[in-house]
Chains A and B, each alone.
Chain A
Amino acid sequence: MNVGFALVGLMVLDGAFAGFRAVMGRTGRVRLGPIAVRSALLGAGFAAILGGCFLQAMAMAGGPSAALVTIGEQLVGVYSVYAALIAVGFALRAIPNVDVRTLTSVLIFGPLTLLRPFVIVGGAAWAALAAPEPAAVGVTALGVICVFFVEQCCEHWLWRGVLHAQVP
């Protein structure tokens, strides 16, 4: 179950970033702080609910199979590397130098955002190879769909449905 919590943790983090991206480039505001934080929290909350349901369903089905745990461990490995690179980006961005900050966007955040879908799908496919049992692979695929679902909800619904009205 620890692997499950780690994966849901990563999903919540991804949801927070999806929420943040959902308001970027939409408000026209200079002071983005409050609305961006709200959006990130909503994205994270939505991911947490979905991830929690996933874990609950798993527990009710008698816990994850050995194959699923193996796949989960591989997934945590792949996605942690991605998360670590993002963390390095934020650490560098804390340096108060305009060139260093620009470079974090140009070399880290931009390319990694573009690569994100490939990392998610490619990472899951690679992890599934470690224990290619149909039921475990199916659950992995469902998890991947949930991650994209959170992002699409943030992108298409969070702004238009919730936040737009809060930014006159």
Chain B
Amino acid sequence: MNPWRFRYAWLELSDHLIHIAPGSTERIPVSRDAVLAALEAEGNPYGAAIVGSVPVEDDGCFVPEAVDALLVRCHRELQRLALELQQGPRTRDRLIPLIARLRRDGRRIRIVDVGCGIGYVLRWLAARGGLGDAVELVGCDFNAALIAEARRLAQAERLDVTFLAQDAFTLDVPADIYLSSGVLHHIPLDALPAFFAAQERAGARAWLHADFQASPLAAPGSWVFHRARMREPLAVHDGILSAVRAHPTDGLLAAARAGANGARVEQLGGPVFSWLPMARAMHTIAMERE
């Protein structure tokens, strides 16, 4: 897979394979022919072979269990990215001062990870974050299979995290802090204000949304990482594409301002060194109500 051929306009294969009824967690059957046609229309030369190997039912729709198993395998591999990019410690380091500020009244702080997948960041925080009883950790994702795996993994390691199947746009979990990692690029830029606004409606006092940072090195860097670390071709494909699909920082900041209704908005984690034109692989769009 040539990283320079990937396009911002392509959809990740995981988004092609999973269709969820808006505002719910109900799966809609997905026809392989429709996905192949969409990939051809995008001009994506890599997706067809990968999607073509996913089993289908007699009616030509993907077997949901096969898609779920594939996505769970990919998310376990994806966990390596979070591990190597230090997503756990980074999130903890950002949360500690934030929690101290928000917790002046001594109340317990609820943190919700939106689009948590199999919940690595929250499980890491519960296992190693040292946040103690001051926080309650809740993960949401609209993919029920990933939520089931997140619950299984948390139980296996006796970690105190709750996981709920929920759509980010109709979020029904009040919380003080909403965070996410690797989710923003899955949502079109013009839909992001509604994504942030759903958290605002649910009572957000602060937001920490981490995602890949758009930069000329993002695609080749992501290619090196995913070729070296991932086994599933879908994980390699989507990993490279997720870096290419990273939204421009200006667009993210504008969407955050539009959705977060007067909260202070800033970008955390720009370039590694101010004198070097090399962006961090991931940055965070942070918002906080004064």
Contact = CB atoms under 8 A, between A and B. Distances in A.
Interface of A: 24-31, 98-99, 101-103, 105-106, 109-111, 113-114, 168
Contacts of A168: 156
B281 A25 contact: no
Contacts of B153: 28-30
B85 interface: yes
A25 B89 contact: no
Nearest to A99: B272
Given A103-B272, A114-B224, A26 B157 contact: no
B120 A30 contact: yes
B2 to A, nearest CB: 15
Contact of A98 (B78, B86, B156, B227): B86
Nearest to B78: A25
Contact of A101 (B86, B93, B272): B86
Given A24-B80, A28-B76, A31-B157, A102 B224 contact: no
B242 to A, nearest CB: 16
Contacts of B149: 28
Interface size class, chain B: 35 or more
B90 interface: yes
Given A31-B157, A105-B84, A114 B76 contact: no
Given A28-B75, A30-B120, 18 more contacts: A25-B77, A25-B78, A25-B79, A25-B231, A29-B153, A29-B156, A29-B157, A30-B123, A30-B159, A31-B157, A99-B272, A101-B86, A102-B281, A105-B225, A106-B225, A114-B224, A114-B228, A168-B156
6 contacts: A25-B77, A29-B153, A102-B84, A105-B84, A110-B224, A111-B224
Interface string B16-42: 000000000000000000000000000
Nearest to A155: B231
* A24, A28, A101, A110 interface centre (most CB from chain B within 10 Å): A28
Given A26-B76, A28-B118, A98 B93 contact: yes
Interface in B137-177: 149, 153, 156-157, 159
Contacts of B230: 25
Contacts of B76: 25-28
A25 to B, nearest CB: 4
B188 interface: no
Nearest to A112: B228
A160 B269 CA distance: 39
Given A27-B76, A28-B149, A102 B86 contact: yes
